[in-house]
């Protein structure tokens, strides 16, 4: 094969590889995510309540974040006030604890007023996005727990960022 033709073939393959990586990173209407690292699998379309498959194995010891849908709006800053829909599951038993989707109303709050896992895990996300947060107890409710959250519980949140101000 002539050298010029071979270069064109490589260029086309490189463009296709970049396009495929972009598509799999951004997701589609049936957004599905999961990880070989044992993170929960989340499915669902933008604008709809997510479904979280309970994880198996040992919970991660550090905060884990994963963009399930990459937003294109205003970026979350530590000083932002957010309007979000969220779903909360506990790692230890895969119990769905709470979801703003069930009440139909998103929650609005200053990011500085919530648990450390949100304060550290949401900056950089953008409005229109969906982010998975796996929060160890020391960045959640700690050794005391809170309400239905038991002591030293790892938390799984799926957060849809509706607005950032």
DSSP string, 42-90: EEE-TTS--EEEPP-SPPPSS-EEEEEE---SPBP-TT-EEEEEEEEEE
pLDDT confidence of residue 2 = 53
Place of tokens 């409005």: 127
With contact defined as beta carbons under 8 Å apart, do 69 and 45 qualify?
Answer: no
Q: Cα–Cα distance between 87 and 95 in angstroms, integer?
A: 11
Domain architecture of the chain: domains with CATH: 30-164 (3.10.50.40)
pLDDT of residue 95: 94
| Distance separating alpha carbons of residues 14 and 89, to the nearest angstrom | 40
How is residue 151 written in tokens? 């002591």
pLDDT at residue 75 in the model = 98
H or E element that contains 132: strand 130-135
**Are 85 and 100 within 8 A, CB to CB?**
yes
pLDDT 10s digit of each residue in the chain, 165 long?
554 443 343 333 333 333 333 333 333 334 445 444 578 999 999 999 999 999 989 999 999 999 999 999 999 999 999 999 999 999 999 999 999 999 889 999 999 999 999 999 999 999 999 999 999 999 999 999 999 999 999 999 999 999 999
């Amino acid at each position: 094969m002539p050298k010029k033709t071979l270069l064109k073939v490589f260029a086309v393959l490189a463009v296709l590889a970049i396009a495929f990586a972009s598509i799999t990173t951004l997701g589609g209407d049936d957004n599905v995510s999961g990880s070989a690292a044992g993170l929960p699998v989340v499915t669902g379309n933008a604008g709809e309540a997510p479904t979280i498959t309970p994880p198996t194995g040992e919970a991660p010891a550090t905060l884990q974040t994963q963009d399930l849908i990459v937003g294109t709006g205003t970026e979350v800053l530590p000083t932002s006030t957010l309007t979000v829909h969220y779903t909360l599951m506990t790692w230890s038993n895969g119990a769905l604890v709470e979801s703003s989707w069930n009440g139909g109303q998103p929650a609005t709050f200053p990011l500085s007023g919530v648990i450390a896992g949100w304060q550290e895990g949401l900056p950089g996300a953008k409005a229109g996005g969906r982010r998975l947060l796996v929060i160890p107890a020391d960045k959640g409710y700690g050794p005391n727990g809170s309400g239905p959250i038991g002591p030293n519980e790892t938390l799984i949140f799926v957060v849809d960022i509706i607005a950032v101000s």
